[in-house]
Amino acid sequence: ERVWGPLREKQPTLELGVVSEVRGDDIVVRRLADDAEVTLKRRQLRSGRLPPGTRVLALCKSENDPATIVDAVPPTGRVARIQCEGGEQKDEPLASLRSRPDLLPAGR
């Protein structure tokens, strides 16, 4: 299952990864960017579903600019069609997307 989480130390943004193991309340997540495994608590994670309208941070005019997912991304998808705030649309690898908790739907 794809999830958003704080997958890098000292980085305020959330990054996408895939759950590789569950050990009680500890979840092992494999980062999409480099396949490194990070262990987090379940409460630190958000669903990685990417329906149209999901707000993310991407490289538009500069790094971590606000953007919106335009087309649904299938569970095994590796690329998202995004629209930057200025209206430009482009394909962006999921590994390069970031987000913040205030941009994502509330967790369960």
Query: Distance from first CA to last CA of the chain, Å, rounded?
Result: 15
Work out the number of other CB atoms within 10 angstroms of the CB of residue 84.
17
Domains held by the chain: number: 2
pTM for the predicted model, two decimal places: 0.91
Query: Which tokens in the block code for residue 30?
Result: 């494999």
Q: Evaluate whether residue 108 is within a structural domain.
A: no
pLDDT digits (tens, 9 = 90+) for 28-76: 999 999 999 999 999 999 999 999 999 999 999 988 999 999 999 988 8
CATH of residue 12: 2.30.30
Residue 34 belongs to domain spanning: 2-47
Q: Please check the confidence at residue 107 and state whether its pLDDT lies above 70.
A: no
Query: Which tokens in the block code for residue 62?
Result: 């500069």
pLDDT score recorded for residue 63: 87
Q: Are residues 40 and 59 in the same domain?
A: no
Question: Are the C-beta atoms of residues 84 and 65 closer than 8 Å to each other?
Answer: yes
